[in-house]
């Protein structure tokens, strides 16, 4: 057997084992979620059998926890059982269980077949989601975590950075409703906007003197996190792309391509307050890409000026009323207060 054939065999076997392990993990997670959902259902149904919630919490739930811990070990504390109960209460509409006329499950073998549909995340994801009281907000994060394959820490980061509220700020009431029903849809240029953009992962301090080059370098060093913050469909195209016009040279700070919108997205970084000169510069960049770089089958280029302090009046009177290409967006170097953002939504 030749060496290259051996390499191909080794790689094929490795990929097979890796896929098998991933399948096992998914199966374990699915079984765990289904089991905890059914435990929650049993607790709720038993609770409805006569005991008050207070009595149940101080009596039956404690004894159930002690019994399960004795038999199975850790993982069945009262708090965890309460989470399972809440899991069923919140997600009971997902259940598709066939029952006998007396209300019991047909048999124990139907557990997986009778599992709730549409629950595709891990138990740790759902424990995180259950902390969100607003139904629309929780549904949004569930949809996004599922479609984007967020790890639990990524889900937590998006919740902590008020991703839902920041997207809601740039949408009307109908758009906010769609966020909860469909997640973040990228169909128009404004769909990629959120306010503000949060860059806490760069670890730049507000009181530290940093330049635009420092900001750009920090973003490049944390490019994966930055692209996740930007949203769906972004592909990195380059930094400091040069535009030469009659011997003068200009550089676009960051260039991306959005595969969902099928267009270039140019980002210019400004560490001060937005000026009309900044908008004029971005207009030139966008015009150049539209006329010299983009293909005929691609959509018009989008330009985003990421600035420390926005200036809505300058934007309003510098750009045409039907503008759909150039936008300004503030960035923050710290996680925003959810209360402050929610106040802006009122």
Question: Is residue 334 scored above 70 in pLDDT?
Answer: yes
Q: Tell me the sheet residues that pair with 176.
A: none
Q: How confident is the model at residue 172 (pLDDT cuts 50, 70, 90)?
A: confident
- 105: pLDDT confidence band, cut at 50, 70 and 90? very low
> Average pLDDT in the 256-276 region?
95
**Alpha-carbon span 137 to 112, nearest angstrom:** 28
Average pLDDT over residues 309-315: 90
- Per-residue confidence (pLDDT) for residue 97, from 0 to 100: 42
* Spatial contact of 214 and 286, defined as CB atoms under 8 Å apart: no
Compute the C-alpha angle 251/186/220, nearest 5°: 35
Q: Hey, which of 3-7, 197-201, 267-271 has the most confident mean pLDDT?
A: 267-271
- To the nearest whole number, what is the mean pLDDT of the chain? 84
More confident residue, 175 or 86: 86
Q: Which long-range contacts (CB under 8 A, 24 or more apart) does 129-133 make?
A: 129/155, 130/83, 130/86, 130/87, 130/90, 132/159
Average pLDDT (323-335) is 90
What confidence score (pLDDT) does residue 86 get? 93
**Is 37 a residue whose pLDDT tops 70?**
yes
Distance of CA 13 to the CA centre of its chain: 34
Q: Which residue's structure tokens are 């390499």?
A: 7
- pLDDT given for residue 301 in this prediction: 97
The topology (CATH level 3) of 196-339 is Trna Endonuclease; Chain: A, domain 1 (3.40.1350)
What are the extents of the domains in the chain?
3-121, 196-339
Is the pLDDT score of 52 beyond 70? no
Phi then psi for 171, rounded to 5 degrees? Answer: -130, 155
Q: Which two tokens stand for residue 65?
A: 């926890």
Q: In this model, does residue 107 exceed pLDDT 50?
A: no
User: Which single residue is written with the structure tokens 């997902």?
Assistant: 94
Residues 120 and 306: their CA atoms lie apart, in Å, by 35
**Under 8 Å between Cβ of 32 and 123:** yes
Span 254-264, average pLDDT = 96
Beta strands 248-258 and 234-245, pairing class: antiparallel
**Is the distance from CB of 257 to CB of 265 less than 8 angstroms?**
yes
Q: Is the pLDDT of residue 102 over 50?
A: no
Mean pLDDT within 123-137:
93
Highest average pLDDT, of 100-109, 174-183, 223-232, comes from: 223-232
Report which of residues 47 and 58 the model is more confident about: 47
213 upstream amide cis, omega within 30 of 0: no
Asked whether the predicted pLDDT for residue 279 surpasses 70, the reply is: yes
- Local confidence band at 344 (pLDDT 50, 70, 90 cut-offs): low
pTM of the model: 0.73
User: If pLDDT is split at 50, 70 and 90, which confidence band does 127 have?
Assistant: very high
- 243 SS3 class: strand
* Best CA proximity match to 96, nearest among 113, 71, 79: 113
pLDDT at residue 177, rounded to an integer: 79
């Amino acid at each position: 057997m030749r060496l290259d054939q051996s390499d191909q065999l080794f790689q094929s076997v490795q990929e097979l084992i890796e896929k098998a392990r991933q399948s096992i993990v998914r199966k374990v997670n699915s079984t765990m979620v289904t089991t905890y959902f059914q435990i929650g259902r049993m607790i709720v149904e038993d609770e409805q059998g006569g005991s008050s919630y207070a009595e149940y919490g101080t009596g039956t739930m404690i004894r159930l926890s002690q019994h399960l811990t004795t038999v199975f070990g850790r993982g069945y504390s009262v708090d965890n059982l309460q989470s399972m109960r809440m899991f069923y209460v919140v997600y009971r509409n997902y259940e598709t269980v066939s029952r006998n006329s007396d209300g019991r499950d047909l048999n124990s073998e139907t557990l997986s077949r009778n599992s709730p549909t549409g629950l595709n995340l891990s138990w740790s994801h759902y424990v995180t989601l259950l902390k969100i009281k607003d139904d629309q907000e929780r549904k949004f994060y569930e949809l996004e975590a599922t479609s984007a394959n967020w790890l639990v820490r990524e889900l937590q980061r998006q919740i902590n950075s008020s991703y839902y509220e920041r997207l809601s700020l740039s949408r009307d009431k109908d758009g906010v409703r769609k966020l909860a029903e469909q997640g973040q849809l990228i169909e128009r240029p404004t769909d990629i906007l959120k306010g503000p953009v949060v860059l806490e992962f760069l670890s730049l301090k507000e009181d530290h003197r940093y330049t635009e080059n420092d900001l750009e370098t920090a973003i490049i060093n944390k490019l994966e996190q930055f692209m996740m913050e930007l949203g769906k469909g972004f592909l990195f195209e380059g930094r400091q792309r040069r535009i030469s016009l009659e011997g003068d040279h200009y550089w676009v700070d960051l260039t991306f391509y959005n595969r969902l919108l099928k267009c270039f997205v140019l980002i210019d970084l400004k560490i001060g307050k937005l000026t009309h000169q900044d908008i004029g510069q971005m207009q030139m960049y966008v015009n150049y890409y539209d006329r010299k770089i983009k293909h005929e089958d691609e959509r018009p280029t989008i330009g985003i000026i990421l600035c420390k302090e926005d200036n809505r009046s300058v934007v309003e009177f510098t750009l045409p009323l039907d503008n759909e290409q150039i936008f300004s967006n503030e960035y923050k170097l710290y996680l925003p207060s959810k209360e402050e953002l929610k106040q802006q939504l009122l």
